[in-house]
Chain A
């Protein structure tokens, strides 16, 4: 196997991990509320900018910045749910979706007003890049950190969903809301927790994205958000494994469309059209996504 292929494999894993971290939040929220949280991409942006604040202004190193941004973004996520979505719990789906879009615009433009349009980046010493050379393959510590962190965070989330009583309640809500309170579970608590976890992961994704691609602007969440959303749908929205796999898959498709395209004379500007056409084909073959199951209509 040639080296450039391996190199691209690492790049795809990095890009895919970042999409995956964002896709998880879409999927979890959809699982419990059947809501596509269109503000999620902007929450990702918010997390990345909180990282700028922590590292530039507060001069915090990488790990405390990551943790603080995740915690604060989780609080933001819970606040958004409480203020914007909860009053609409029994409203039509359309009203909630429009509200979500509005929340997204508020975050984008609020951040623009607050920080200006100049692109931001993290300070040099935030995560000092070291490039290792392994048999001709050059891998930076940044890529390794991103990939490992994404997998560790996903694993942690998966354990919460599968092993704890909160995770069990989340899965139960996604199956049938009606009976959940009868088990003594406060639905509001579980929904708040779901938002907290999903938005904290988006914040981690935002900071890692900013480390990998150091051009942060208030609109960065739109593109990444849409792509992660599509990744979640392809994986089977509502299932965390599906979201993570969908994110990785999207990373691989994007990178390898470019990598393989150069041999057949396809320019890299065709990356997105080809990548999304491929994902559409997956959805044609499996409309519920890779891990999705058809939802039963409940009365």
Chain B
């Protein structure tokens, strides 16, 4: 097991956002957490990545406890988060964004990983000297995924990669995610667009107000009447 989350509780001050969530991700999988706005999906990812501290519970990655570790140290272990809203540095160029993502790497390793990103996303290569602010939403999402590939690339956490993108771009991003996964990156995907998420994931968890209410193989959940009604607009 690559990532194991046990009985995780997280709160913002007095507001409890996640209470008692447990799930796991195996090496090589694509796993998705689906749920409505405010269900606690982003909180879970931000806590795993070290941006938030859990109140209680265990997060183990590659068998080691990473709960409460600072984000810049979590990254060192090959776990990278593509945050909600992409969070591209708009005052840095495309290559600077990628170089910063390789902050802890040796120059040659960083160059090797950047080259791979430009191969996966030729569009980014064409715009390497453009400022992040000048990219379209789709290009920014490509850059956000690219950055995560440079920093980590062993386990990638993605927070709403489809947000604000045209359907054709969502298709493109998701096909790239499948490709990245085939090349060896395990993916934990959080989505409101349950339709797309269940299509590419092997397993899924359904989150409601800080609890996991359903879990199972993605195909099975996609045909579950409750899930269809609540998340797939059937």
A interface residues with partner B (beta carbon < 8 Å)? 165, 168-169, 171-172, 174-176, 178-179, 181-187
Listed A/B pairs (15) with beta-carbon separation below 8 Å: A165-B99, A165-B100, A168-B96, A171-B89, A175-B91, A179-B87, A182-B51, A182-B80, A183-B100, A183-B147, A184-B72, A184-B75, A184-B103, A185-B72, A186-B72
0/1 string, B76-104, CB within 8 A of A gives 1 = 10001101000101111000100111111
Residue total for B at the interface (Cβ-Cβ under 8 A): 25
Is B71's CB under 8 angstroms from A171's CB? no
Is B101's CB under 8 angstroms from A181's CB? no
| Chief secondary structure at chain A's binding surface | helix
Please judge, given known A-B contacts A176-B87, A178-B83, whether A185 and B103 are in contact too, CB under 8 Å. Answer: yes
Is A186's CB under 8 angstroms from B70's CB? yes
Residues of A within 8 Å of B103, CB to CB, are 165, 169, 183-185
Residues of A within 8 Å of B89, CB to CB, are 171-172, 175-176, 179
A256 → chain B closest CB, angstroms: 34
In the complex, whether B151 has a CB less than 8 A from a CB of chain A is: yes
Is A182's CB under 8 angstroms from B99's CB? no
B92 → chain A closest CB, angstroms: 6
Given contacts A171-B89, A182-B83, A184-B101, 4 further A-B contacts (CB under 8 A): A168-B100, A176-B87, A178-B51, A182-B80
0/1 string, B122-160, CB within 8 A of A gives 1 = 000000000000000000000000010001000000000
Residues of B within 8 Å of A183, CB to CB, are 72, 75, 100-101, 103, 147, 151
Is A182's CB under 8 angstroms from B151's CB? yes
Q: How far is the CA of A183 from the CA of B143 in the complex (A)?
A: 13
Contact of A169 (CB < 8 Å), options: B49, B100, B151: B100
